[in-house]
């Protein structure tokens, strides 16, 4: 649409358009401390229901947009708030319910994002072709409101946690419950493992969404059609769901921190070893570039997305279950702030805005994402080592299944 006349996106650059998704993805996590606090003071059902209603309202408002900034405000800002209200309780509440199989259970829960994307991608493509983007926004906005509110109605705190929260809430007024954010204990914030995990959250989040946002667009540089590009988005989401469940199951066997490290390592390998070469080779050998791209889509979908499912279980291992509500909000806020920077910067690194875009025009973007994923891998390993030294009383002794 940016290359067509008389559309809200006419003449817009890649970075300006991707800012819509970047704002939404960042705000989904940037408001985490407040949303987690509201879920504790009020209840998760009310918070999620508010998110569902706001999602529908923002989508309907977006359908009347006539300029790019209208979509940045509605599909970016408002949808970001809406998804934060509906997503964060689903990450903060469930870990308390599970023990031995926490990795698998959180993987199954997180797989909903992949399954949803797998289903939505072809549906949205069909709706866009048959009724246009404005009516598609109205239809999906209303439908998502119903689905979000219905699914959120069954989410509640684990009984022991609920009893503890009731005692804490008795000490607060409704104003305090609305504006006060519980911060992590100082003795945890001052540790090296906390710093390592903060850096890991920042690096990974800055990189994660860029390939997802650009899979469809990049596939067209290799000669794929719009429908085929949509299919690759669906393939990525299918791998997303499979990876979260599969890696979650493996994490319970080999250790959640070890699985956490392996997922980030394989994600960085897929970016540096498959996507980056595809941008270079694809300009002269399209068939080889396509094979590398397909391999990247599958491997990145399987392992980069599994990181999300393992994030909460890893926080439990590193900081303990009792500190989860305090730690979760801060860590997700860091992810949101980093995401707000990473994808727009990556979009600026796309070198061409002409109607004929080559794979090589995405080289700098792929290198940037690969470097961030490598940095994330290093910091995950650092956090694991700090936790291991803590478990061994500061003595060097390698421990497995962490």
State pLDDT tens for residues 58-74: 999 999 988 888 998 99
| Reported confidence tier of residue 353, pLDDT bands at 50, 70, 90 | very low
- In this predicted structure, the answer to whether residue 198 has a pLDDT above a threshold of 50 is yes
Percent of the chain predicted with pLDDT > 70: 96
Cβ(79)–Cβ(96) below 8 Å: no
Reduce the secondary structure of the chain to three states and give it as a string.
CCCCCCCCCCCCCHHHHHHHHHHHHHHHHHCHHHHHHHHHHCCHHHHHHHHHHHHHHHHHHHCCCCCHHHHHHHHHHHHHHHHHHHHHHHHHCHHHHCCCCHHHHHHHHHHHHHHHHHHHHHHHHHHHHHHHHHHHHHHHHHHHHHHHHHHHCCCCCCHHHHHHHHHHHCCCCHHHHHHCCCCCCHHHHCCHHHHHHHHHHHHHHHHHHHHHHHHHHHHHHCCCCHHHHHHHHHHHHHHHHHHHHHHHHHHHHHCHHHHHHHHHHHHHHHHHHHHHHHHHHCCCCHHHHHHHHHHHHHHHHHHCCHHHHHHHHHHHHHHCHHHHHHHHHHHHHHHHHHHHHHHHHHHHCCCCCCCCCCHHHHHHHHHHHHHHHHHHHHHHHHHHHHHHHHHCCCCCCCCCCC
pLDDT at residue 372, rounded to an integer? 92
Least Cα distance to 103 among 310, 242, 254 occurs for 310
CATH number of 14-391: 1.20.1250.20
- In this predicted structure, the answer to whether residue 78 has a pLDDT above a threshold of 90 is yes
How far is residue 367's CA from residue 271's CA, in Å, rounded to a whole number?
8
Residue in the block written with tokens 């309907």: 60
Maximum distance among all Cα pairs of the chain, rounded to whole angstroms: 67
Q: Summarize pLDDT for 81-94 with one digit per residue, the tens.
A: 999 999 888 888 88
Q: How many C-beta neighbours within 10 Å does residue 329 have?
A: 26
How does the average pLDDT of the chain come out, rounded?
Answer: 84
Spacing of C-alpha 398 from chain mean position: 32
pLDDT at residue 122, rounded to an integer? 79
pLDDT at residue 311, rounded to an integer? 83
Least Cα distance to 314 among 259, 378, 390 occurs for 259
- CA torsion angle 113 119 124 129 (round to 10): 160
- In this predicted structure, the answer to whether residue 288 has a pLDDT above a threshold of 90 is no
Q: Summarize pLDDT for 103-137 with one digit per residue, the tens.
A: 788 778 877 877 887 788 778 888 888 998 899 99
Mean pLDDT value across residues 97-101: 77
Task: Please give the structure tokens belonging to residue 291.
Answer: 């094979």
- In this predicted structure, the answer to whether residue 379 has a pLDDT above a threshold of 90 is yes
Mean pLDDT value across residues 21-47: 85
Any idea which of 215-219, 297-301, 334-338 has the lowest mean pLDDT? 215-219
pLDDT at residue 148, rounded to an integer? 92
- In this predicted structure, the answer to whether residue 31 has a pLDDT above a threshold of 80 is yes
pLDDT at residue 210, rounded to an integer? 85
* pLDDT: which is higher, 352 or 400: 400
Q: Summarize pLDDT for 256-269 with one digit per residue, the tens.
A: 888 889 999 999 99
Residue in the block written with tokens 């392996």: 262
Mean pLDDT value across residues 276-301: 87
Residues 6+ apart with CB under 8 A from 258: 251, 384, 400, 401, 402
pLDDT at residue 147, rounded to an integer? 92
Mean pLDDT value across residues 25-41: 84
How far is residue 142's CA from residue 159's CA, in Å, rounded to a whole number?
33
Give Cα separations from 389 to 21, 187, 258, 382 (angstroms).
40, 16, 15, 11
Mean pLDDT value across residues 306-317: 82
Cβ(272)–Cβ(370) below 8 Å: yes
- In this predicted structure, the answer to whether residue 283 has a pLDDT above a threshold of 70 is yes
């Amino acid at each position: 649409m940016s290359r067509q006349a008389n559309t809200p996106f006419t003449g817009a650059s890649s970075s300006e358009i991707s800012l819509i998704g970047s704002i939404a993805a960042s705000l989904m996590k940037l408001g985490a401390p407040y949303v987690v606090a509201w879920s504790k003071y009020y209840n998760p059902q009310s918070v999620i229901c508010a998110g569902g209603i706001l999602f529908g309202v923002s989508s309907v408002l977006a359908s009347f947009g006539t300029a790019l900034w209208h979509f940045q405000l509605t599909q970016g800002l408002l949808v970001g708030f809406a998804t934060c209200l509906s997503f964060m309780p689903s990450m903060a509440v469930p870990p308390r319910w599970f023990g031995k199989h926490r990795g698998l259970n959180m993987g199954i829960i997180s797989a909903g994002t992949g399954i949803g994307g797998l289903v939505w991608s072809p549906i949205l493509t069909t709706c866009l072709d048959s009724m246009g983007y404005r009516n598609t926004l109205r239809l999906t906005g209303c439908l998502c409101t119903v689905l979000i509110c219905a699914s959120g109605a069954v989410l509640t705190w684990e009984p022991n946690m609920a009893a503890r929260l009731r005692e804490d809430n008795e000490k607060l007024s409704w104003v305090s419950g609305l504006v006060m954010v519980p911060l992590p204990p100082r003795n945890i914030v001052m540790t090296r493992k906390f710093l390592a995990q903060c850096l890991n959250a920042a690096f990974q989040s800055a990189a994660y969404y860029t390939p997802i946002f650009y899979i469809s667009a990049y596939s067209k540089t290799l000669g794929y059609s719009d429908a085929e590009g949509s299919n690759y988005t669906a393939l990525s989401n299918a791998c997303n769901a499979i990876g979260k469940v599969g890696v979650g199951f493996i994490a319970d066997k080999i250790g959640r921190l070890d699985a956490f490290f392996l997922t980030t390592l394989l994600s960085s390998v897929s970016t540096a070893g498959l996507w980056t070469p595809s941008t270079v080779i694809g300009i002269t050998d399209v068939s080889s570039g396509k094979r590398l791209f397909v391999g990247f889509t599958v491997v990145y979908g399987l392992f980069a997305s599994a990181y999300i499912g393992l994030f909460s279980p890893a926080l439990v291992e590193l900081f303990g279950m009792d500190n989860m509500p305090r730690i979760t909000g801060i860590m997700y806020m860091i992810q949101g702030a980093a995401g707000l920077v990473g994808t727009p910067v990556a979009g600026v690194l796309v070198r061409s805005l002409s109607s004929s875009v080559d794979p090589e025009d995405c080289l700098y973007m792929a290198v940037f994402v690969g470097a961030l994923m490598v940095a994330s891998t290093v910091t995950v390993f650092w956090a694991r080592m700090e936790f291991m030294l803590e478990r061994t009383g500061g003595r060097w002794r390698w421990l497995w299944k962490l």
